[in-house]
Amino acid sequence: MSRLADSRVARQRRWFDHGTSFIVTAAGAGVLGTILLMLLYLFWEVLPLAQPASISYSHSEPAGEGPLLARGQGPDPAPQALLATLAEEGLLAGTVESSVRLADGRAVLLAMDDGGLVEFGRSSAGPGERWVRFRRLDSGGLPVRWLLAEPRRAVVYALAADGRLQLWHTRAERRLLATRLPRAAGAEAVAVSADGTVLAVRVGSEVHHYRLHNPHPEVSVSSLWSATWHPDYPAPARVWQSSPAGASDEPKLNLAPLALGTFKAALYTMLLAAPLGVLAAIYTAYFMARPLRRLVKPGIELMEAVPTVVLGFIAGLWLAPRVEDALAGVLAAPLVLVLGVVLVGGLWSSLPRRWRRRVPLGARPLLLLPVVALLPWASVAASPAIEAVLFGGDLARWLEQEFDIVYQQRNALVVGMAMGFAVLPTVFSITEDAIFSVPRSLSYGSLALGATRWQTLTGVVLPTASPGIFSALMIGLGRAIGETMIVLMATGNTPILDGDPFTGLRSLSANIAMEAPEAIVGSTHFRVLFLSALLLFAFTFVINTIAELVRQRLRYRYAAG
């Protein structure tokens, strides 16, 4: 009976092991499948951006006396006075064969006798407006007879007398299409519909209609990442402006300011979270008494449970105004804190040994708590005096006068402080576990050979725990890159290309959260938001992949498990 019972128990254990293994495998496959489905959906929404333009013959009809298209746009040549002005200023090198106005006359595209298409634009508005050359498009020597532009997009149609057609998007510097239209040779008039879906060409007594498919002409590598010269801009710029200022303006969808804002927020976050989290973890795992560690570690890990929307709310409405009021004290606080702690440590070391021994070893860190609390408070309280002595009474005004830096209340510094508070528990917890899990035998062996505790820490413990420490930093960086609510609430959400810590920013994740609900499904704006989500995923994937490769290399080097 005993043998029978043992075999039954063994069989039940095998069933349990097989069932558990199946559940774990199914859960892993489900997670992997979910990620793959998400990636496929992102690619599905982004792929139409790369769809080429096409045109096909639709039908013909007798020509009437009215316009070619009821709500169409015909040729709109540049004023002769403007052409004369450009010639006088030496901007024209050749004869103008054809021209068209763009952006309500704030730019013009000229077809030159050498076959090039040259765009000129107004670089500044107002009485002192100045016209400059924006760009030159290489048409391959096409002898352009007709130039016309869509009223709502910077799409230009260049038609030759023999029926050859080229479609260009001037801002993206992208040739969308080059073909020969059937029945369009000898065109006497042309027009395009307002939505850019129909092209009409009159030849003799007939009007030929062509069906156009050109959904996303404004997207190219150049328009997404390079500086583009827009009308009324003093210089080429990388601009994200999804809501056009005027009816004739196109959305400006350059991702460079958003990508820089993402890494800018992550950088200032890690400048706070990385040193504090790693150093706190080193002390907690290696120097702190066990009873105190059992209280401190769970307390810091509980900080991770604070909702980021709460942190963003506090940072935007409470922290940002106070940082502005005491900017000099806030910037001086880290230096004051470090010097103060070093000074207190020196004073403690100078005390007689019998006095120091009266304080239990585990309670000695508690003596620093008043110092750590009072020194930053004193630095902030002394901010008016610091500004009066060093910066003429106003640090923000001094920054603007000396370095042309305009201080904004909700800026990258505030975001770094708030997000650093959110990321710090992650960095601390993983680093502390990595250091604490180093085998004690390694430390005891080092100490037995005569090394001090500090030498043991730097020469044995930290190298052995380095894979875990590096993983902690990379996981913290990944979370900082993907953070949404704090960036959304604690910054001015200004998509500017600036690394200044005193100006605002907009990250990729915050931009998606802001604009996705308002984007028209299927529009270029909608699909570029999906592209930014795919980029965000790629950034995180690359960072995690590099972290894993480095971690494995460190584990192999130090044989940590």
At 120-175, the pLDDT tens digits run 998 875 566 788 899 999 888 889 999 999 888 889 999 999 999 999 999 888 89
Question: What is the DSSP code (8-state) at residue 523?
Answer: S
pLDDT category at 560 given cuts 50, 70, 90 is very low
Sort residue 393 into left (φ over 0), alpha (ψ -120 to 50) or beta.
Answer: left
Lateral strand order in the sheet of 131-138: 96-102, 107-112, 116-122, 131-138
| Distance separating alpha carbons of residues 132 and 122, to the nearest angstrom | 7
Return the structure tokens found at 545: 């992949």
Q: Which pLDDT score, from 0 to 100, does residue 431 have?
A: 93
Sort residue 232 into left (φ over 0), alpha (ψ -120 to 50) or beta.
Answer: left
- From the CB of residue 37, how many other CB atoms can be counted at a distance below 10 Å? 10
Q: What's the whole-model pTM score?
A: 0.87
CA atoms within 13 A on the CB side of 254: 23
| 3-class SS of residue 163 | coil
Q: Which pLDDT score, from 0 to 100, does residue 247 have?
A: 54
Q: Where are the beta strands (DSSP E) in 113-217?
A: 116-122, 131-138, 144-149, 155-160, 164-169, 174-180, 189-193, 198-203, 206-213
Mean pLDDT within 170-188: 91
Q: Which pLDDT score, from 0 to 100, does residue 458 have?
A: 87
Q: Which pLDDT score, from 0 to 100, does residue 6 have?
A: 61
Determine how β-strand 174-180 pairs with β-strand 189-193. Answer: unpaired
Q: How many residues does the chain have?
A: 561
Domain boundary assignment for the chain: 54-227, 258-325+393-558
Share above pLDDT 70 across residues of the chain, in percent, rounded to a whole number = 96
* Maximal CA-CA distance, the chain: 112
- Least reliable range by pLDDT among 205-214, 348-357, 456-465: 348-357
* For residue 274, pLDDT beyond 90: yes
For 413-436, how does the pLDDT look when each residue is reduced to its tens digit (9 = 90+)? 999 999 999 999 999 999 999 998
Residue type, 174: R
pLDDT category at 561 given cuts 50, 70, 90 is very low
| Best CA proximity match to 241, nearest among 251, 249, 232, 231 | 251
Return the structure tokens found at 429: 């917890």
Q: Which pLDDT score, from 0 to 100, does residue 4 have?
A: 58
Q: Which pLDDT score, from 0 to 100, does residue 559 have?
A: 59
For 515-546, how does the pLDDT look when each residue is reduced to its tens digit (9 = 90+)? 998 898 989 999 999 999 999 988 888 888 88
Q: Average model confidence (pLDDT) for the chain?
A: 87
Candidate CATH numbers 2.40.160.20, 2.60.40.2140, 1.10.3720.10, 3.60.15.10; the one for domain 258-325+393-558: 1.10.3720.10
Indicate the helix (H) or strand (E) that contains 141: none
* For residue 29, pLDDT beyond 90: no
* For residue 360, pLDDT beyond 80: no
For 39-79, how does the pLDDT look when each residue is reduced to its tens digit (9 = 90+)? 899 899 999 998 899 999 999 998 887 788 877 888 889 88
